[in-house]
Amino acid sequence: MGVKPIREKVLIKRVEAQETTKGGIIIPDSAAEKPQEGEVVAVGSGWVLGAGLTKKLDVKKGDKVLFGKYSGTEISFKGDDYVILSENEILAVIE
């Protein structure tokens, strides 16, 4: 991939935002809110515990997740937009 999160960090690709409402109204890009849903692309090695132990993350590559509107840091890599955030900023896994 090229971007590898470290420790408890997770790399997420946002789902595509809807461009129309249920009523058929087209929403311009400037007015559309960024989705708070995405797919986990990569995960770090896990939480660092005492005595050199590591706890693996609860989320894994391919999970669909929900996260807060202002969570994480947005990055662009090779023309794609991603969000890097700590696992504890993930609100839920969509099953």
| Structure token digits, residue 22 | 């249920």
Angle at 31 between CA 64 and CA 78, to 5 degrees: 50
What domains are defined for the chain?
9-17+27-94 (2.30.33.40)
| Structure token digits, residue 51 | 């005595």
CA R_g for the chain = 15
* Total-model pTM: 0.77
Summarize pLDDT for 30-85 with one digit per residue, the tens: 544 565 889 999 999 888 888 888 899 999 999 999 998 888 899 988 888 899 99
How many C-beta atoms lie closer than 10 Å to residue 13's C-beta?
Answer: 14
3-state secondary structure of 76: strand
pLDDT band at 12 (very low <50, low <70, confident <90, very high): very high
Summarize pLDDT for 20-34 with one digit per residue, the tens: 556 666 655 554 456
Q: Report yes or no: 37 and 71 within 8 Å, Cβ to Cβ.
A: no
